[in-house]
């Protein structure tokens, strides 16, 4: 296999350093492994050293991702254009919607035609079902296929539905679909279920309304009212830069119920699943392929989730977990009751999920897929 020359360079554009570290380090490793110089252009807070450990350089770009006003975006595009003109990367890899909008515009201004638009889900725009949300999605789709793209632009998705959102064929040679961020199965080994009678359910996610945190809370209350012995732990922090963040006061209010506890950010994911039987993500939509589901499955945990893109693309209903309609706390409560009364089913679903991870959702799978994409682009 012919590798590109070591003088090749790729620039990743991403809003936050923590987001790159939590989801996309395998892509930087893949680029460095194949001989590319890698730079990560991002808002730097506390995770630059983790990025540098891959062999990539870090270039700060201060921008508030919640602020989408032209007065905020235009200066960011100008500054990013200056960085790209100075760095002259062969490929600009833009991660997530805001970075695609800003990075695509800056790459066009800098004359860099090889662009990767990695849509990692639609966020709260994908969860909205009103006319405003529909109109916004249409405008964004037109921009990503039109003025922000070039003949050499390639699209990277975590589920086929998001390709359809842009009006692209998932089987097109311009489209690559990867298994989310991938996970390291050696760092997240299968774990025995905790030997307690109460079914311990955990949500590990940003505390956003779009993640269905309230649906999970209500479902646990309903399941307990029906006699099920279940508890819920919420692991995650509110995201002040996201308009759909659950207020901390609400999280603390839920924790006043004896069966529900907000535990804050989870630094040790394996430790979470060592203490819990079931993973829950009651998403309302807008997902790419949630990493939390991959991590839980790697550890051998059954999954309760919803029938939305990304979640349903990974979890096979009845095999790796149970899928219910989004926003339906009654259906979710019934699923909780079912698993509370059948520990053997929890174990079987956990084994199935672990096997699914090993079959195509590891970091190595993702690294190989993006390396093949970069090689193909550099030959064009």
* pLDDT tens column, 344-377: 999 999 999 999 999 999 999 999 999 999 999 9
Query: Quick one: pLDDT at residue 273?
Result: 98
SS3 45: coil
Query: Coil, helix or strand for 245?
Result: strand
Q: Cα(166)–Cα(119) distance, rounded to whole angstroms?
A: 10
User: Could you tell me which residues come within 8 angstroms of residue 261 by beta carbon, excluding any fewer than 6 positions away?
Assistant: 231, 232, 233, 234, 255
Is the pLDDT confidence value at 7 over 70?
Answer: no
Q: At 42, is the secondary structure helix, strand, or coil?
A: strand
In this structure, CATH architecture of domain 199-360: 3-Layer(aba) Sandwich (3.40)
pLDDT for res 380: 78
Between CA 222 and CA 61 the distance in angstroms is 46
Report the distance separating Cα 25 and Cα 356, nearest Å. Answer: 22
Q: Is the pLDDT of residue 258 over 90?
A: no
Mean pLDDT of 36-54: 96
Residues 87-137: pLDDT tens digits? 999 999 999 888 999 999 999 999 999 999 999 876 555 555 566 556 656
Comparing C-alpha atoms, which of 314, 303, 291 is closest to residue 336? 303
What residues contact 208, with CB distance under 8 A and at least 6 apart? 124, 239, 242, 244, 245, 246
- Tell me how far apart the alpha carbons of residues 179 and 167 are, in angstroms, rounded to a whole number: 21
pTM: 0.90
Asked whether residue 71 carries a pLDDT value surpassing 80, the answer given is no
CB 307: neighbour CB atoms within 10 A? 16
Same fold, 9-182+362-378 and 199-360: yes
Q: How far apart are CA 147 and CA 108, in angstroms?
A: 9
Tokens of 347: 């174990």
Q: What is the CB neighbour count within 10 angstroms for residue 146?
A: 8
Percent of the chain having pLDDT more than 90?
79
DSSP, collapsed to helix, strand or coil, labels residue 167 as coil
* Cβ atoms within 10 Å of 7's Cβ, excluding its own: 9
Supply the pLDDT for residue 122: 64
- Mean pLDDT, rounded, for 62-85: 81
CATH number, domain 9-182+362-378: 3.40.50.2000
- Within 8 A by CB and 6+ apart from 268, the residues are none
DSSP structure class, residue 3 = P
d(CA 279, CA 48): 30
User: Strands (DSSP E) along the chain, which ranges?
Assistant: 9-16, 37-43, 57-60, 91-95, 115-119, 154-157, 175-177, 199-204, 230-235, 260-264, 278-281, 302-306, 321-324
pLDDT reported for residue 286: 86
135-149, 167-181, 212-226, 290-304, range with the lowest pLDDT:
135-149
Task: Please state the domain extents for the chain.
Answer: 9-182+362-378, 199-360
Q: Measure Cα distances from 223 to 229, 261, 331, 339 in Å.
A: 8, 16, 10, 11
Residue 130 CB burial class (10 angstroms; 0-12, 13-18, ≥19): exposed
Q: At what angle are helices 343-360 and 291-298 packed, to 10 degrees?
A: 110
Give me the mean pLDDT over the 254-268 stretch. Answer: 94
């Amino acid at each position: 296999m012919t590798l590109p020359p070591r003088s090749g360079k790729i620039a990743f554009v991403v809003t936050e350093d923590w987001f790159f570290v939590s989801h996309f380090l395998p892509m930087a490793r893949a680029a460095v492994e194949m001989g590319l110089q890698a730079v990560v252009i991002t808002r730097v807070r506390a995770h630059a050293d983790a990025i540098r450990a891959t062999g990539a350089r870090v270039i700060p770009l201060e921008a508030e991702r919640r602020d989408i006003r032209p007065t905020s975006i235009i200066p960011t595009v100008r500054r990013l254009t200056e960085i790209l003109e100075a760095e002259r990367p062969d490929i600009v890899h833009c991660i997530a919607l805001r970075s695609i909008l800003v990075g695509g515009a800056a790459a066009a201004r800098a004359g860099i035609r090889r662009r990767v638009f990695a849509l990692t889900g639609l966020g709260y725009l994908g969860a909205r079902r009103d006319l405003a949300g529909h109109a916004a999605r249409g405008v964004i789709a037109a921009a990503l296929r039109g003025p922000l793209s070039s003949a050499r632009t390639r699209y990277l998705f975590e589920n086929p539905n998001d390709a359809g959102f842009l009006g692209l064929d998932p089987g097109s040679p311009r489209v690559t679909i990867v298994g989310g961020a991938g996970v390291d199965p050696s760092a997240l080994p299968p774990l025995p279920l905790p030997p307690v009678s109460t079914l311990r359910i955990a949500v590990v996610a940003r505390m956003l309304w779009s993640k269905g945190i309230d649906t999970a809370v209500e479902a646990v209350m309903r399941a307990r009212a029906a006699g099920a012995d279940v508890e819920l732990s919420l692991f995650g922090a509110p995201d002040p830069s996201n308009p759909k963040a659950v207020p901390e006061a609400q999280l603390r209010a839920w924790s006043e119920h004896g069966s529900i506890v907000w535990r804050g950010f989870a630094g040790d994911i394996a430790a979470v699943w060592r203490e819990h039987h079931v993973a829950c993500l009651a998403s309302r939509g807008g997902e790419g392929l949630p990493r939390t589901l991959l991590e839980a499955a790697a550890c051998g945990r059954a999954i309760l989730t919803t029938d939305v893109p990304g979640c349903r693309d990974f979890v096979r209903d009845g095999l790796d977990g149970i899928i219910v309609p989004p926003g339906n706390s009654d259906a979710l409560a019934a699923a909780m009751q079912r698993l509370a009364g059948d520990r053997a089913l929890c174990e079987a679903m956990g084994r199935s999920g672990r096997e699914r991870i090993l079959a195509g959702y590891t970091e190595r799978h993702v690294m190989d897929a993006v390396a093949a994409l970069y090689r193909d682009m550099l030959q064009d």
